[in-house]
């Protein structure tokens, strides 16, 4: 059975990669949540409360909302 690695066990490259990906994930989530809060319900495909919950399913929820959940025009 593989033992769990601690933060200090990771190389600086691995730590940087994790921090970079976490930053991207946080940015997508924040963007999706702000857009969802500001966008009228008529411009959202489906119920807004459901999309709100979906935005916390990482990493696909925010991306799904940004790509599929918004109506354009």
pTM for the model: 0.84
Task: Look at residues 67, 69, 71, 27 and name the one whose alpha carbon lies nearest to residue 52.
Answer: 69
List the chain pLDDT tens, one digit each, 73 residues: 678 889 999 999 999 999 999 999 999 999 999 999 999 999 999 999 999 999 999 989 999 999 999 988 6
Report which of 29, 27, 25 is spatially closest to residue 53, judged by C-alpha positions.
29
Give pLDDT, residue 73.
Answer: 65
Given this model, what pLDDT does residue 3 score?
81
pLDDT, position 15: 96
> What integer pLDDT is reported at residue 1 of this predicted model?
66
């Amino acid at each position: 059975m593989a033992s769990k690695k601690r933060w200090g066990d990771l190389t600086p490259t691995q730590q940087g990669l994790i921090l970079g990906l976490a930053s991207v994930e946080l940015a997508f989530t924040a963007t999706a949540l702000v857009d969802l809060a500001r966008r009228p319900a008529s411009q959202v495909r489906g119920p807004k409360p459901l999309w709100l919950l979906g935005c916390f399913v990482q990493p696909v929820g925010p991306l799904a909302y940004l790509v599929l959940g918004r109506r354009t025009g």
